Amino acid sequence: MNYIRYFLYGALIVVVLMLWNTWQQEHQTTVTKPSATITQQAASQQFKQPQLPTQTTSKKAQINNGKIIHVKTNVLDVDISTLGGNIIKVSLPEYPKELKSKESFLLLNHNPNTLYVSKSGLIGSDKKNRKLLRYSVAQRNFVLTKDKKQLVVTLQTVTNDGVRIIKSYVFKPDKYNVKLNVKVINNANKTWNGNYYMQFTRTDAPPSKKSTFSLRSFFGIAISSKDNPYQKFHFKKLGKKPIDQNIKSGWLAVVQHYFIGAWVPNPKIEYHYYSSVNSDGTYTAGMVSPVISINPRGSVTLNSNFYAGPKIAKRLNMISPYLAKTVDYGFLWFIAILLFKLMKFFYSIFGNWGWAIIAVTVLVKLVFYKLSATSYKSMAAMRKLQPKLAKLKEQYEGDKQAYNKAMMELYRKEKVNPLGGCLPILIQIPVFFALYWVLLGSVELRQAPFIFWIHDLSTKDPYYVLPILMGISMYIQQKLTPMSADATQAKIMMFLPVMMTVFFLNFPSGLVLYWLVNNVVSVLQQWYIMRKFEHGGYRKHRKERKRPWWMIFPRR
């Protein structure tokens, strides 16, 4: 039995090491008039990576040469450049850059070193005339006040060939998604052909971390299709294997820790998704529509959704199917989602995520109480067998095969399951991993305080109090567990709490809090059940106990 438990503890350590290493690395398009059509041709003929509008100046100049339109809502602070009519800056007033900071978190920006901008527009069939268009706007500052249901920012321009383009950004209160309407009016005397595109351009520069041990979740590009709802592409791999897919009813997002930027096109039209590595070291990923043909005096209106904000599953589900998968809870997502919902329920009661974690931990222990009781009884039975096992080892010294046979016969005779004591560990491991990903991926826990010195449950305990207490609780749990007759194995098991404490020093304090509470509840359950079993029942134990109740360590 001990060998199995040692193996499980060893497996847990290996996985924790892997996690520690990971910690380091790591809607719609509508045709308004029948005079305009969107042609669906064969993919090999129709879809190619677009030659986008360019300027003779650098990309930095392209952004800075435009006038800035500033738009402010209660949840978004946005800059739009009149050069291309593109969103070049988004900050989030409800999310401080750092704990207790008055500066908002900056998501999109046009700093050359951390460039992250969104672009959208039209690509005409005339390759000689593909330049970024300059738009005009009625005013430069817009504010969505509390008495308004929406704010529309309209930009207009006219191309050299007589095509009028009207881009309208629609902002709403409490919304991180912005609807973009692009109306194209062909005032020329010939048919206009072109494509509509949406894309992101950014550097491979993840948000900086205070600690070198900070967790790094997935950082890169994600796309969605019916066949593969959530495909991830790291920036560095895009150079060798660029995105090149035709997708209907999908989306494209730039994913980082806690936040995303996303484009959601018309789900009824098949778009070509692409990516490229630019000469200046930035990365571009986007989508382009099939050919749009507009007859003379005709028009078409194209609608899409742009999202820039936190990864909140409830909000993302309302925008597009599978967009909530960017809240990545790992391979145990089904457990993680349940844990998060339970935590959210308890948070609505306590108003504190730390107490919510404690409540979920206790609830999980109560749910598995019967199973834990069986396991602890098995441990107690194993403790009683220790003297007999020692005699067997002495009797069959040098004959391992005979010893194992006699040991199994003893287990059968005493009706003891040597694997019973492993169950609590098996129960804890999936919950541990699931909660790990919940704490890693849930923006709700970002900068969430607990009590006293714990001001952010998503980062490490600054004074290492919780990891040390966790180690002490694990040591007490080890003292309650039947030890192996092998002195070397016994020493290894007693050294395990020290190793785990070291590993947990830089883990999120919320995760360490879970493990600490789990250990404390386990110790109480284990002490109560084992002593009750060893003394033949609770009442008898109360009458015949020879030591005070606070001396929880049983005699060896």
Q: How do residues 88-118 score in pLDDT, each as one tens digit?
A: 999 999 999 988 889 999 999 999 889 999 9
Task: Assess whether pLDDT exceeds 90 at residue 233.
Answer: yes
pLDDT of residue 401: 84
Instruction: State the Cα–Cα distance between residues 26 and 53, nearest whole angstrom.
Output: 35
Region(s) of the chain under CATH 2.70.98.90? 28-206+217-319
pLDDT of residue 291: 93
State the pLDDT confidence band at 437, using cuts at 50, 70 and 90: confident
Instruction: State the Cα–Cα distance between residues 213 and 115, nearest whole angstrom.
Output: 25
Task: Produce one character per residue of 236-257: b if its CB has 16 or more CB atoms within 10 Å, e if not.
Answer: eebeeebbebebebbbbbbbbb
pTM for the whole structure: 0.80
Give the pLDDT confidence of 450-475 residue by residue, as tens digits: 999 999 998 899 999 999 999 999 88
Task: Assess whether pLDDT exceeds 90 at residue 253.
Answer: yes
State the pLDDT confidence band at 58, using cuts at 50, 70 and 90: very low
Q: Which of 472, 471, 453 is nearest to 462 (CA)?
A: 453
Q: Residue 480's CB: how many other CB atoms inside 10 A?
A: 19
Q: Which of 109, 129, 125, 127 is nearest to 117 (CA)?
A: 109
Instruction: State the Cα–Cα distance between residues 59 and 123, nearest whole angstrom.
Output: 18
Q: Which of 533, 520, 428 is nearest to 482 (CA)?
A: 533
Task: Assess whether pLDDT exceeds 70 at residue 81.
Answer: yes
Task: Assess whether pLDDT exceeds 90 at residue 153.
Answer: yes
Strands, E, within 59-111: which ranges?
A: 68-72, 77-81, 86-96, 104-108
Give residue 162's region: left, alpha or beta (phi > 0; psi -120 to 50).
Answer: left
Structural element, H or E, at residue 180: strand 177-186
Once rounded to an integer, what is the mean pLDDT over residues 403-432?
74
pLDDT of residue 422: 65
Task: Assess whether pLDDT exceeds 60 at residue 243.
Answer: yes
Instruction: Please list, in sequence order, all residues whose beta carbon lies within 8 angstroms of the beta carbon of residue 140, skipping any fewer than 6 positions away.
Output: 67, 68, 69, 70
State the pLDDT confidence band at 29, using cuts at 50, 70 and 90: very low
Structure tokens at 537: 């029942």
Given a contact cutoff of 8 angstroms between Cβ atoms, the answer to whether 249 and 321 are in contact is yes
Q: Which of 184 and 162 is assigned the larger pLDDT?
A: 184
Once rounded to an integer, what is the mean pLDDT over residues 294-323?
95
Lowest mean pLDDT among 127-141, 222-236, 370-384: 370-384
Across the chain, mean pLDDT equals 82
CATH fold for domain 28-206+217-319? Beta-galactosidase; Chain A, domain 5 (2.70.98)
Once rounded to an integer, what is the mean pLDDT over residues 144-149?
93
Given a contact cutoff of 8 angstroms between Cβ atoms, the answer to whether 198 and 209 are in contact is no
Q: Which of 260 and 417 is assigned the larger pLDDT?
A: 260
pLDDT of residue 552: 46
Q: In 26-101, which residue ranges form alpha helices assigned H by DSSP?
A: 43-46, 59-64
Give the pLDDT confidence of 326-357 residue by residue, as tens digits: 998 888 889 999 999 999 999 999 999 999 99
